[in-house]
Amino acid sequence: MSAKATLSFCMLASLVLASMASLADTAPSLREAASTEPRLARPPGTACEVPLFKDHAFGQTGDPKAMTATPLAFDYRPPEGCAGPWAKVVLEADFSVPAGKQYDRTASIWLGGANLYFGTTQEPDAKNGARWHVERDLTDYAALFRSARPGQAIVNNWLSERYTSAITGSARLVFYPVGAGAPQGDAADAVYPLGADPRGNATIVQDGRETLTRTLTLPRNVTQAYLDVIAQSQGNDEPWYTCIDDAHVAQTQTFALESPYEGAPLQECGGGNLRQVLISIDHQPAGLAPVYPWTYTGGVDPHLWRPIPDIQTLNFAPYRVDLTPFAALLDDGRPHDVSVRVLGANRFFNLAASLLIHQDAKRETLTGKLISNDLAARSGLGTPHVESTLHAASDGRIEGTVNTTRKDSYRIVGQLETSRGTVRTEVAQVSSFANRQTFVRPDAPTWHQVIDQTSDTDETATTRVGNAAAIERHRTSSYPLRLDVTKHVAKDGSFHGEIDMTQGLGVRKQTLRGGDRVFDGHLDVSMQSHDEADFNSMGSSIANSRNQHASQRLSFKDSLGSCVATTLESRGEEMTHVTQGNGCDGGSNRLDWRSTLMP
């Protein structure tokens, strides 16, 4: 397919697929990074915009692996003539990178210390650059936008004679005022970022002991508290799902897709492969969150992700942890430490977290108690169970399995005396993690490894006001991943690799009142990608790549009437097929503006 034909197809796909939003006309080598994620639906009424930055080129000279890029500072002011209240607030951002050579880079946008966006960038190649559009529903963060605040954007991009491509970006906040058919959004009354930078920045933790911590003295009328957290793996931890416990590193090292060095994919890293986020209040465990195994566009094999990046790669979704049972403790007028750490971290993770609180509008001081906290009594948090059948066959070839598992459950209950009466909140969570690695040597030159990983979380928050019917909010999350790699090694040490990667994201949310359903929604996203590549004798670069094909599917339905079904398919690193609306009424996608796909 010619370059001109490629551009025409991408332009057509942008019209068909809402998520493939175009920037202004660009060179034919700049193509869309495709995603099934739709644009956020908007409420009726005329929106107003506040630009944060526009057409800024991110890139500076220096060490291409450094993590100290100079931020782009900006100062935010509320929209004139559109001061709120707002029905919805949306962050929109557009990025592009020209053809050339560049790493996938971490990108983030911050305001008043709070994270507005976190993701990574699309890697270009020698012939094709990329452009992409991201959005995030920030209605819950509306309290941030009512007054002027400092902010900054950070794209950790470095330029050199070898890494030549700058990354250009623009971002804006879009406000939708309350009006007919668009009631005020259910925003938090205040947002407290945990980071120390007044503009905002991620906090690096190198291991499972280091924390992102902030000491907060909150208003004495907090009724609900939630923590939004993002844990982004980097460095040695970038492919954390491929790591293995230290006892089995030496035996399995020769199955690696690349030669041993920090950051190489597939089996160079020790330290195990269990990663969990632990939230604590005053050093008391207060909640657990799973870590999504994001794979960046340079991860495992860059040819797997052109032109369809893996799930959420360009736009991470934070995980929300319900801390409401601790409201009475937080209401005592004293300073409290709120901290986040990544159990199992092994060089290193970026952390971002913001505490969102709701307050009692009719009382300035609330009392209550933390009734029970099973999680505080749990021992061995972050310690997995590891079983191995690795053994040497008669000819000395290593084969067998290494299975890593962990199950956790807890129940936390709190009570609060409010203007509505006595409120009792119970948060219960059950989670399970399994990483099963299989190593096979069918013959001397062939090395075959399969990683099957699952991470499932089932959480229920139950709230009862006095003797009224209980409100139950259920959320289940499923993060399946499978990586299947076969390499055929030649006598000179070069090898041919066959790589298949499958990943998924499943989320279901349900709200019940007195046992009757109030809301139900289900999101399912899956990604399958294949490549065959020739590696040089060091295994650190790909000489040839062929037979690439990939597909990504998204299905979303909820009780508000939303139905979205999108399938993308590619072959030979070119988009080949886009399908929309299968299974939806009239064969068309529909997304209600009140719906959210955010896990």
Is the full-model pTM beyond 0.75? yes
Mean pLDDT of the 263-291 span: 86
Bridging pattern class, strands 222-233 and 319-322: antiparallel
Mean pLDDT of the 481-497 span: 91
State the chain's mean pLDDT as an integer: 90
137 phi and psi angles, rounded to 5 deg: -75, 115
Mean pLDDT of the 320-329 span: 98
13 phi and psi angles, rounded to 5 deg: -65, -30
pLDDT per position as a tens digit, 209-250: 999 999 999 999 999 999 999 999 998 899 999 999 999 988
- The residue count of the chain comes to 599
Interacting residues of 359 by C-beta distance below 8 A, sequence separation 6+:
189, 190, 219, 221, 222, 223
Write the DSSP assignment of 267-325 as a string of letters.
S---S-S--EEEEEETTEEEEEEE------TTSS-GGGGSSSPPTTTTS--PEEEE-GG
pLDDT per position as a tens digit, 145-202: 999 999 999 999 999 888 899 999 999 999 999 987 889 888 999 999 999 999 999 9
Query: How many CB atoms sit inside 10 A of residue 62's CB?
Result: 12
Single-letter code of the amino acid located at 476? T
Mean pLDDT of the 544-555 span: 95
Asked whether residue 468 carries a pLDDT value surpassing 80, the answer given is yes
- Tell me the two tokens of residue 75: 């100062």
Whether the CB-CB separation of 217 and 243 falls below 8 Å is answered with: no
Give CB contacts under 8 A, 24+ apart, made by 415-419.
415/328, 415/368, 415/369, 415/371, 416/223, 416/327, 416/328, 416/331, 416/366, 416/367, 416/368, 417/366, 417/367, 417/368, 418/223, 418/360, 418/363, 418/366, 419/360, 419/361, 419/362, 419/363
Q: What does the alpha-carbon distance between residue 488 and residue 337 come to, in Å, rounded to a whole number?
A: 53
Q: What does the alpha-carbon distance between residue 112 and residue 494 come to, in Å, rounded to a whole number?
A: 51
Write the DSSP assignment of 13-28 as a string of letters.
HHHH-TTS---S---T
Whether the CB-CB separation of 281 and 337 falls below 8 Å is answered with: yes
- Tell me the two tokens of residue 148: 């002027």
Q: What does the alpha-carbon distance between residue 435 and residue 454 come to, in Å, rounded to a whole number?
A: 7
Looking at residue 261, its pLDDT comes to 41
Instruction: Report residue 598's pLDDT band, with 50, 70 and 90 as the boundaries.
Output: low
Q: Which of 261, 100, 220, 108 is closest to 171 using CA atoms?
A: 108
Q: What does the alpha-carbon distance between residue 93 and residue 70 come to, in Å, rounded to a whole number?
A: 19
Q: For domain 1-188, which CATH number applies: 2.60.120, 1.25.40, 3.40.50, 1.10.10?
A: 2.60.120
Whether the CB-CB separation of 142 and 173 falls below 8 Å is answered with: no
Looking at residue 292, its pLDDT comes to 98
Whether the CB-CB separation of 567 and 551 falls below 8 Å is answered with: yes
User: Which helix or strand (DSSP H or E) is residue 550 part of?
Assistant: strand 542-558
Per the listing, tokens 């050579």 go with 101
Q: What does the alpha-carbon distance between residue 471 and residue 474 come to, in Å, rounded to a whole number?
A: 10
Task: Write down the domain spans for the chain.
Answer: 1-188
Looking at residue 257, its pLDDT comes to 76
In three-state secondary structure terms, 248 is: helix
Looking at residue 13, its pLDDT comes to 33
Question: Which residues, in sequence order, are bridge partners of residue 580?
Answer: 566
pLDDT, greater one: 168 or 539: 168
Looking at residue 393, its pLDDT comes to 84
Looking at residue 25, its pLDDT comes to 38
Whether the CB-CB separation of 242 and 360 falls below 8 Å is answered with: no
Task: Convert 131-187 into a string of H (helix), E (strand) and C (coil).
Answer: EEEEEEECHHHHHHHHCCEEEEEEECCEECCCCCCCEEEEEEEEEEECECCECCCCC
Q: What does the alpha-carbon distance between residue 520 and residue 510 come to, in Å, rounded to a whole number?
A: 4
Separation of CA 192 from chain center = 20
Alpha helix segments (H runs only) across 386-515: none
